[in-house]
Amino acid sequence: MADYVIPAPQVAAAPVVGGGLFPVRRIFCVGRNYAEHAREMGSDPDREPPFFFTKPADSLVTGGADMPYPTETNSLHHEMELVVALGTGGADIAEEDALKHVWGYAAGLDMTRRDLQDEAKKTRRPWDMSKGFDHSAPIGMLVPASHFPDPTRGKLELRVNGAVRQSSDLSKLIWSVAETIAYLSRLVRLAPGDLIFTGTPEGVAAVVRGDVLEGVVEGVGTLRTKIV
């Protein structure tokens, strides 16, 4: 036993379909990975290199639990995304080897304090507090990669109170799952337990307390959370 001077933090984890927990080390997120979303955010969707930001592992909301409306925002936006869970890590991973590192997939939400993010963009400040706040990453159950062998296609949809808000397909990702893993592994040494939120399609919008968010990635699974 290590000689910790306070109790060691709990390991964050996400439930797996059929039982068990996937322990989460870090959460990486890709920005602007669908052309129509880049356009709605006022950017040029040309194939510039992917860029990344992070959320703390303990920002996950699992098991269909409620998401508390965060403090210090009047514009909480949903971003429906495919989440990739890495079972093995590495640096300088080749694109053709990248999917071998994937343990599984899940549907996830990259919840965003859009007003704080807009302010951060304007003032050239970091995104941490607009993206990496408490409870900012609701996630559905993980499925093993063998259940979803081809992450280059699959419908992705988010409903808010039953109405479709985001609807797209993984075939529209600017940077594929394999390309994203390869690229990110040149910036950091990836590790078992790392999650990658792969970016959101168009249709992002604000939610309020009482809204029920239901997402699905075809072939992967669903997620559900209520804003409280």
By the criterion CB under 5 A, which residues form the site for Mn ion?
Answer: 79, 110, 200
Q: Residue 178: helix, strand or coil by DSSP?
A: helix
Closest to 131 measured CA to CA, from 65, 51, 190: 51
Distance in Å, CB of 84 to Mn ion, minimum? 13
Task: Specify whether the CB–CB gap between 99 and 76 falls below 8 A.
Answer: no
| Shortest separation between residue 109's beta carbon and Mn ion, angstroms | 9
Measured from the CB atom, the residue of 155 and 210 that comes closer to Mn ion is 155
Compare residues 101 and 131 and give the one whose CB is closer to Mn ion: 131
Q: Residue for token digits 């949809």?
A: 157
Helix or strand run (H / E) with residue 225: strand 221-226
User: Nearest CA to 198 among 124, 102, 133?
Assistant: 102
Cβ 18 to Mn ion, closest distance in Å?
A: 28
Nearest Cα to Cα of residue 214 among 156, 161, 155, 141: 161
The minimum distance between CB 110 and Mn ion, in angstroms, equals 3
CA pair distance 61, 40, nearest whole angstrom: 27
Report the alpha-carbon distance of residue 144 to residue 38 in Å, rounded: 30
201 CB-side CA count, 13 A: 18
Q: Which is nearer to Mn ion, 98 or 196 (CB)?
A: 196
Task: Name which of 78 and 101 has its Cβ closer to Mn ion.
Answer: 78
Which amino acid is it at 124? Answer: R
Nearest approach in angstroms of CB 100 to Mn ion is 25
Q: How far is the CB of 37 from Mn ion (least distance, A)?
A: 8
